[in-house]
Amino acid sequence: MGKKVRVNVKGSPPIEIPVQGLNGLTALKALSIDNMENIAAIKINGEIKDLPTKINSSAELEPVCMDSQDGLEILRHSAAHVMAQAVRDLFPGTKVTIGPAIKGGFYYDFDYERAFEAKDLPEIEKRMAEIIEEDLPFIRSEIPSSEAIDFFRSQGEPYKVELIEDLSEQKVTLYRDGNFTDLCRGPHLPSTGKIGAFQLTHVAGAYWRGDEHKAMLSRIYGVAFADQKSLDAHLKNLEEARKRDHRVLGRKLDLFSIREDLGPGMVIFHPNGAILRHIIEEFEIKEHLKRGYELAVGPQLLKTELWKKSGHFDHYRENMYFTDIEDQSYGIKPMNCLAHMLIYSSKVRSYRDLPKRYFELGTVHRHERSGVLHGLIRARQFTQDDAHILCSPDQLKTEIQNILDFVGEIMAIFGFHYDLEISTRPKKSIGTDEDWQKATKALIESVEEYNLPYQINQGEGAFYGPKIDVMLEDALERSWQCATIQCDFALPERFDLSYVGPDGEKHRPAMIHRVILGSIERFLGILIEHYAGAFPLWLAPVQAIILTITDRNIAYGKDLSEALSAADFRVETDFRNEKLSFKVREAQMKKIPYMLVVGDKEMETGSVTIRLRDGHNLPPVSSKELIARIRDESQKRR
């Protein structure tokens, strides 16, 4: 009898299986796992592997289903390989670069003699379908890097050679399906035939490795799901997202504009957009003041020496703008933390003064590449609801949990669900290992004591400290990063911040960098798409519009407008000599919550007829009742 090993599905008793010929697929079959067709890969002792991976010792196994998060990522990555194979088959001489899975889909970047266009996609899709029909196995191999370099050179693939040379590893992993071999860590589906429903969506330009000084490539995007029903639902969401695009609605609702003659990444807020922004900022100030924050305002320019002291010059200067004034170098602030630390250090602080919470609606500038700019979502100038909390180390967890409370209350007002991610120390960072461990521990313990689920993003923290990122889910179930909580021991050390403790000695405070909404511009872009431009009453730039039926109703309409304005409501009038149906249609297109119709009957009874933007008509009410209704709805922030 040959050697046997004990294997079990996670949470079930183990069984003994002969090791000869044992791999993930045969092990799952021996364990009588149902619906094998829906399995994309396998976890062996918690690590995701290809299904054909050999099993040589006892192990706990877990099938990775095609429609799970991990399974979909594997499916989409496999679809990217098939797309690259199809492009190579159809367009000889194409050089392939990288093709990852992304949220909802995948892409691959190609270097061809011309840029790919949307008209190329149907032909590529057809060839992909043929490759999927062939059901080609994905075959994994591990070879010395030198052999891989020779192979890709012979294939005319310089980008793959560059990637391998940069890896500086002795061996690399390749995957082959049919006549296509790619550099890839995997894992992949067992074969191309396992790829479910897919569709190529669009083409864009992308610089090699995101560097504008390197080659411009063609990036082809696609989406893939385990079944057609899921793909159809996703495509429907994409179509809805196009309708909700904040850049389109921003023009239609006259909220903002971005002009090339002004400069990319710079936003002009029109009156309606400026009112919306003012409402959000006024709301934020009130919410911060009642939670013990103090208002602060820092300058836009700070001497470059300060940015060197903080570490931004060494770790962040590619995102900064600099200028010289009278032979002195200054940096335009990309963050607000320096001024807040200078406020703290302006006098001696006692432990009795802590925590100090400085809040600023601070406008910052960051050098974003033109290729990543995206309306309000990604701009070069934006305002953050930025705060910095300086506290004693033993106050740290309480302050973090207070911020989590704050985030929860604010997100509930806007109707957002959210998840948490904790990002740990990146390679490019400052501070001691001990400080990073303390900071990371404080974040994790705060979240766990708060009883909130989270996931870890290894190496994705800020250069000065680990962070919690709050990932919002909007009405279309898309994820957005807005709020963040960063724990920092490094900058208080660099700026020699201190407080006098109960023992009369100087001690070093901890610092929390945090935003609740994040960039005001970005949050407004998300809100526009979340609400499809139909803002709740308290946020609507125009809350009501008065529509007259005839010219003889204008005087009464003006009286109503004055009464609403005196009650602090945002109101417009439409007294044009146009049909009422035309006026109503225009007001609905502007997504104004209340259309207030006044005619002869309303004049006689001293009332107003209400039409809601969803088309519902309400019975006539007096102006007093109308004001009470609008006030109640606004205060409840419905």
Q: Which residues are annotated as catalytic?
A: 337, 366, 384, 386, 388, 467, 513
Report H helices in 111-180: 121-134, 145-154, 158-167
**Per-position b or e across 268-306, b if 16+ CB within 10 A of its CB:** ebbebbebbbebbeebbeebbeeeebeebebeeebebeb
Give the gyration radius of the chain's Cα atoms: 30
250 with 232: CB under 8 angstroms? no
Rounded distance, CA 392 to CA 169, Å?
44
**Per-position b or e across 590-617, b if 16+ CB within 10 A of its CB:** bbbbbbbbbbeebbeeebbbbbebeeee
131 with 86: CB under 8 angstroms? yes
47 with 40: CB under 8 angstroms? no
* The CA-based dihedral angle spanning residues 105, 109, 112, 114, taken in that order and rounded to the nearest 10 degrees: 70
One-letter identity of residue 247: R
Q: How far is CA 240 from CA 121, 236, 251, 357, 475, in A?
A: 22, 6, 17, 41, 10
Q: Strand 95-96 to strand 59-65: parallel, antiparallel, or no bridges (unpaired)?
A: unpaired
H or E element at residue 172: strand 171-177
492 with 464: CB under 8 angstroms? no
One-letter identity of residue 347: K
One-letter identity of residue 447: V
What SS3 class is residue 484? Answer: strand
Rounded distance, CA 355 to CA 361, Å?
20
Nearest Cα to Cα of residue 455 among 63, 70, 45, 61: 70
One-letter identity of residue 359: F
Question: CA 628, 631, 632 angle in degrees (round to 5)?
Answer: 85
Q: Check whether the bond before 92 is cis (ω within 30° of 0).
A: no
Question: CA 216, 218, 224 angle in degrees (round to 5)?
Answer: 145
H or E element at residue 212: none
Under DSSP, the state recorded for 191 is B
Nearest Cα to Cα of residue 96 among 183, 167, 159: 159
One-letter identity of residue 127: R
Rounded distance, CA 302 to CA 323, Å?
10
Half-sphere exposure of 223 (CA within 13 A, CB side): 18
Own/partner pairs, 426-430, CB within 8 angstroms, 24+ separation: 426/459, 426/460, 426/461, 426/462, 426/463, 427/459, 428/315, 428/463, 429/315, 429/461, 429/463, 429/464, 430/311, 430/315, 430/463, 430/464, 430/490, 430/494
Let me know how long the chain is: 638
Rounded distance, CA 583 to CA 579, Å?
7
